[in-house]
C-alpha cells in the first residue's frame, strides 16, 4: 500500500518540474518531514554550496501523519543550508498548508535553481504552474496571501509566502502561512527569496492523501485527543496560548531579560499574554488540533486604531519583550505582527535589537552609529524603526539584519562578547544559567541555540520520582543541577526529531501529554498506516536522524568547538550577580556525558560502531572531522 505521497521536484532555473514516487524503502529508515529532508540533503548537497546561491536545495516535507486523521498532525519541515549558520537549516510550520499540499498527493516539494524574475508556484492537484510574481514582489506576507487568493477566486487556496525581509536578504527571513504560522528559524525564507520565489499557493483537493481509515485508526486518534484534553495544562494553553507563560518563566528565574543580563524582568506581569484575553475576537488553531491556541485580537486605540491583530507566541513575547526591556503589551503585539508581515523571525529580530540596546547602554554604540536612533531599553518606537530597517536592509538595521554574530564582526569594539548565539543562531527566551538541561540543549542542538529543537519540557514538568525511574536520579528535574541532564536532553532531542518527522505538533505532545516515550505516537502511526511499529522502533529511527544531522554539520565544518554557550554566560554579570562560573565545572561534564550516551567520541563525532549500528556506515559523504 502506498503510505506517503509523491515528490514534486521543481527546477526554477529551467522552469521544469517532475513528479516521482516517494522512496518507500526510506519511510521506516527516516520517516518523512525533517528525517527525509536531512537524508536527501546529505546525499545531494556539497558542503561548499553557497546558501544563497542557486545550487542550494530548499526542501519542504510533510511528516508521515501530516494531513491524516491524526490529531495535531499539521506540521511540515523545511530544510536547506542556512545562510545564518552555514550548517543544516531547519524550520517547521503548522496551519493547513502541509495538509493541503498532501491533499494533492504531494509529500515532498524540492526547489532547486534560481528564477531570473520573481515567480510563485501554483499547485492544483496534478497541475503545476510557475507564475509571474513581479506584481507581488515587495508586498508583505499578509498582502501577498490576500492578493493570490483574490486573483484566483478560491477561498480554499493556502499560501506560504515570504516578505520584504527575505526578498532584501535579511539572513533571518522567514515564511508565513496565514497570519500567524511562521517557519521562522535559520533563514529558510531568505533561501526562498534568493531563488526569487515569492510564494507557493496550493488549491485544496477533495481527495485527500492515501492512509488507513478504520475503527482502529479512529480509536487511536480519539485516545490521543483524550490524553491532550486530560492534561492539567490543557485549559490554560488553549485559553492563553504560549503568550500566557511570561510571568511563569519570570517566577522560575529563567526569563531572559536585557540581552540576558538578568533572568527576571520587573515588568513581566505587565506583558504577560493573559492580559490579552479581553482583546480576543476569535480563537482558532491548526487542522484537527484540539488545543486551538491561536487568537485574533482587536484593539481600540494606540497603534492598531481598531484594526485586527494576531496574538504572539511565547518566544516572541520574550524576544521582543523582556530581552529588549519593552514594558508595553500592545506595542509588543504590534511589533510581533510587524515582523510577521515583513517576514522576519521574531526570535532573531528581538535578539538583534536587544544586542544593539545592550551595546548602546554600555556606550559601545552611540547615536552616530545608530543614525540617531535612541536605543534605550524599552524604546518601542526605536524598535519599530529598527524592525522596518531590518526588513528593508537600510540604515543601522542593515547591520542587524545579518544576525548578532555577523553584526558583532562589523561593529567590533569588543561587541562579540555580548552576542548571544550558538553556531550563529540567536538564542531562545530561557536564560540558560538557571536551567541546565536547556543550557546543554542550546549547546548541542543541530540548528543552534534553540529550545524548540530540543523541547525539554520534561525538565520542569516531570516529578522527581519519575525522573529517578527514567534517568537514575531525581536531580534530573532540578533545574540547576547538572545530574541526569545528558540523558534527559538525549531523550528530548530524539523524541523531538521523531515528532518533526511524523508531522505532529510538539505543544500537545510535549507540553500537554509530556510522556516522551513515543508509544502513543506509535499507536497513531500503526493505526493510520497499517504498518505495526512501537515506541522503541520510532526512537531508533529518531536516533538515526539525529546522527545524520550530526554528520551533515560535521561535514559543514562544525564540531565540538561549536557546541558551547557564548562566553558572556560565564561572566558574573550574566549570572544574576553570582560568582563567575567555570564552564568546565558544569557545561563540559554534561556535554561529554551527552556525547558518550549518543555513541560519539570526545570530539562529538559519531563512532564507526554507532554508525554501523544505525546503518549509516559506510557513508558516501564522510564528515571532515571523522577523516
Q: What is the pLDDT of residue 577?
A: 56
Q: Cα(241)–Cα(155) distance, rounded to whole angstroms?
A: 27
Q: What average pLDDT score do residues 139-167 get?
A: 94
Cis amide prior to 618 (ω within 30 degrees): yes
Summarised one tens digit per residue, pLDDT across range 13-34 is: 999 999 999 998 899 999 999 9
Q: What average pLDDT score do residues 347-367 get?
A: 98
More confident residue, 494 or 213: 494
DSSP 65: T
Q: Which residues of 123-147 are buried (b: 16+ CB within 10 A; e: fewer)?
A: bbeeebebbebeebbebbbbebbeb
Q: What average pLDDT score do residues 86-113 get?
A: 96
Q: Is the pLDDT of residue 627 over 90?
A: no
Q: Cα(155)–Cα(276) distance, rounded to whole angstroms?
A: 29
Summarised one tens digit per residue, pLDDT across range 410-460 is: 999 999 999 999 999 999 999 998 899 999 999 999 999 999 999 999 999
Q: Is the pLDDT of residue 270 over 60?
A: yes
**Percentage of the chain with pLDDT > 90?**
88
Q: What is the pLDDT of residue 528?
A: 93
Q: What is the pLDDT of residue 1?
A: 44
More confident residue, 85 or 622: 85
Q: Is the pLDDT of residue 275 over 80?
A: yes
Cell of 547: 546522527
Give me the chain's average pLDDT, please.
Answer: 93
**Bridge-based pairing state of the strands 425-426 and 119-124:** unpaired
How do the domains of the chain map onto residue ranges?
Answer: 6-203, 255-419, 432-626
Q: What average pLDDT score do residues 60-82 get?
A: 96
Q: What is the pLDDT of residue 215?
A: 81
Q: What is the pLDDT of residue 579?
A: 65
More confident residue, 555 or 582: 555
Q: What is the pLDDT of residue 39?
A: 97
Summarised one tens digit per residue, pLDDT across range 163-198 is: 999 999 999 999 999 999 999 999 999 999 999 999
Summarised one tens digit per residue, pLDDT across range 502-515 is: 999 999 999 999 99
Cell of 589: 561534564
Q: What is the pLDDT of residue 198?
A: 98
Q: Is the pLDDT of residue 600 over 60?
A: yes
Q: What is the pLDDT of residue 625?
A: 38
Summarised one tens digit per residue, pLDDT across range 520-560 is: 999 999 999 999 999 999 999 999 999 999 999 999 999 99
**Do 101 and 62 contact (CB within 8 A), yes or no?**
yes
Q: What average pLDDT score do residues 289-316 get?
A: 89
Q: Please state, as a whole number, how many other Cβ atoms lie within 10 Å of the Cβ of residue 461.
A: 17
Q: Cα(282)–Cα(293) distance, rounded to whole angstroms?
A: 11
The CA angle 78-197-398, to the nearest 5 degrees, is: 85
**Bridge-based pairing state of the strands 425-426 and 421-422:** antiparallel
**Residue carrying C-alpha cell 524604546:** 379
User: What architecture does CATH give domain 255-419?
Assistant: Orthogonal Bundle (1.10)
Q: What is the pLDDT of residue 430?
A: 96
Quick one: which of 18, 116, 34, 40 has its CA closest to 621? 40
pLDDT band at 301 (very low <50, low <70, confident <90, very high): confident
The highest-level CATH class for domain 6-203 is alpha beta
Q: What is the pLDDT of residue 255?
A: 97
Least trusted range by pLDDT, from 206-210, 271-275, 332-336, 561-565: 206-210
Quick one: which of 295, 256, 257, 251 has its CA closest to 269? 251
Q: Cα 353 to the chain's mean position, in Å?
A: 20
Cell of 13: 532555473
CATH of domain 432-626: 1.10.599.10
**Percentage of the chain with pLDDT > 70?**
95
Kindly state the greatest CA–CA separation across the chain.
68
Q: What average pLDDT score do residues 560-571 get?
A: 91
Q: Is the pLDDT of residue 621 over 50?
A: no
Q: Is the pLDDT of residue 208 over 60?
A: no
**Do 509 and 521 contact (CB within 8 A), yes or no?**
yes
Amino acid at each position: 500500500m502506498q503510505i506517503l505521497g509523491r515528490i514534486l521536484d521543481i527546477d526554477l532555473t529551467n522552469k521544469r518540474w517532475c513528479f516521482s514516487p516517494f522512496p518507500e524503502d526510506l519511510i521506516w529508515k527516516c520517516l518523512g518531514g525533517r528525517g527525509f529532508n536531512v537524508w536527501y540533503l546529505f546525499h545531494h548537497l556539497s558542503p561548499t554550496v553557497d546558501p544563497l546561491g542557486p545550487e542550494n536545495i530548499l526542501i519542504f516535507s510533510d511528516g508521515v501523519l501530516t494531513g491524516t486523521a491524526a490529531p495535531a498532525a499539521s506540521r511540515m519541515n523545511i530544510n536547506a543550508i542556512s545562510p545564518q549558520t552555514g550548517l543544516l537549516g531547519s524550520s517547521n510550520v503548522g496551519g493547513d498548508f502541509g495538509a493541503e499540499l498532501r491533499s494533492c498527493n504531494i509529500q515532498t516539494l524540492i526547489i532547486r535553481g534560481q528564477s531570473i524574475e520573481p515567480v510563485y508556484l501554483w499547485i492544483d492537484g496534478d497541475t503545476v504552474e510557475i507564475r509571474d510574481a513581479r506584481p507581488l514582489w515587495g508586498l508583505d506576507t499578509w498582502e501577498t496571501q490576500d492578493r493570490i487568493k483574490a486573483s484566483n477566486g478560491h477561498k480554499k487556496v493556502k499560501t506560504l509566502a515570504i516578505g520584504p525581509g527575505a526578498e532584501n536578504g535579511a539572513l533571518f527571513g522567514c515564511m508565513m502561512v496565514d497570519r500567524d504560522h511562521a517557519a521562522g528559524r535559520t533563514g529558510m525564507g531568505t533561501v526562498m527569496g534568493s531563488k526569487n520565489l515569492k510564494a507557493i499557493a496550493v488549491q485544496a483537493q477533495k481527495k485527500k492523501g492515501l492512509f488507513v481509515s478504520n475503527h482502529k485508526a479512529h480509536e487511536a486518534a480519539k485516545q490521543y485527543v483524550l490524553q491532550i484534553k486530560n492534561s492539567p495544562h490543557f485549559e490554560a494553553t488553549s485559553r492563553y496560548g504560549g503568550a500566557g507563560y511570561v510571568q511563569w518563566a519570570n517566577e522560575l528565574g529563567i526569563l531572559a531579560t536585557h540581552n540576558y543580563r538578568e533572568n527576571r524582568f520587573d515588568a513581566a506581569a505587565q506583558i504577560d499574554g493573559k492580559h490579552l484575553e479581553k482583546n480576543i475576537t476569535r480563537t482558532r488553531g491548526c487542522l484537527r488540533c484540539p488545543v486551538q491556541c491561536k487568537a485574533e485580537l482587536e484593539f481600540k486605540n494606540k497603534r492598531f486604531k481598531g484594526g485586527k491583530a494576531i496574538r504572539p507566541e511565547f518566544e516572541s513575547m520574550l524576544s521582543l519583550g523582556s530581552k529588549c526591556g519593552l514594558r508595553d503589551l500592545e506595542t509588543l503585539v504590534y511589533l510581533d505582527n510587524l515582523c510577521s508581515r515583513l517576514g522576519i523571525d521574531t526570535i532573531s529580530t528581538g535578539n538583534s535589537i536587544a544586542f544593539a540596546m545592550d551595546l548602546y547602554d554600555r556606550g559601545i554604540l552611540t547615536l552616530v552609529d545608530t543614525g540617531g536612533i535612541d536605543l534605550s531599553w524599552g524604546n518601542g518606537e526605536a524598535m519599530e524603526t529598527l524592525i522596518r530597517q531590518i526588513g528593508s536592509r537600510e540604515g543601522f538595521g542593515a547591520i542587524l539584519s545579518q544576525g548578532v554574530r555577523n553584526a558583532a564582526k562589523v561593529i567590533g569594539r569588543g561587541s562579540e562578547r555580548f552576542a548571544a548565539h550558538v553556531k550563529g543562531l540567536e538564542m531562545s527566551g530561557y536564560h540558560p544559567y538557571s536551567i541546565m538541561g536547556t543550557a546543554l540543549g542550546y549547546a548541542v542542538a543541530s540548528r543552534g541555540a534553540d529550545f524548540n529543537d530540543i523541547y525539554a519540557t520534561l525538565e520542569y514538568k516531570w516529578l522527581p520520582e519519575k525522573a529517578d525511574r527514567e534517568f537514575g536520579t531525581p536531580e534530573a528535574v532540578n533545574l540547576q543541577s547538572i545530574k541526569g541532564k545528558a540523558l534527559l536532553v538525549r531523550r528530548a532531542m530524539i523524541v523531538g526529531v521523531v515528532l518533526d518527522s511524523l508531522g505532529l505538533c510538539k505543544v500537545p505532545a510535549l507540553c500537554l501529554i509530556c510522556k516522551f516515550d513515543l508509544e502513543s505516537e506509535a499507536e497513531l502511526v500503526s493505526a493510520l498506516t497499517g504498518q505495526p511499529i512501537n515506541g522503541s522502533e520510532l526512537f531508533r529511527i529518531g536516533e538515526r536522524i539525529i546522527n545524520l544531522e550530526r554528520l551533515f554539520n560535521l561535514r559543514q565544518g562544525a564540531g565540538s568547538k561549536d557546541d558551547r554557550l557564548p562566553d558572556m554566560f560565564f561572566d558574573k554579570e550574566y549570572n544574576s550577580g553570582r560568582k563567575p562560573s567555570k564552564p568546565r565545572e558544569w557545561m563540559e561534564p554534561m556535554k561529554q556525558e551527552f556525547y558518550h550516551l549518543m555513541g560519539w567520541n570526545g570530539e562529538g563525532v559519531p563512532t564507526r560502531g554507532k554508525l554501523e549500528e544505525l546503518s549509516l556506515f559506510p557513508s558516501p559523504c564522510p564528515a571532515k572531522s571523522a577523516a
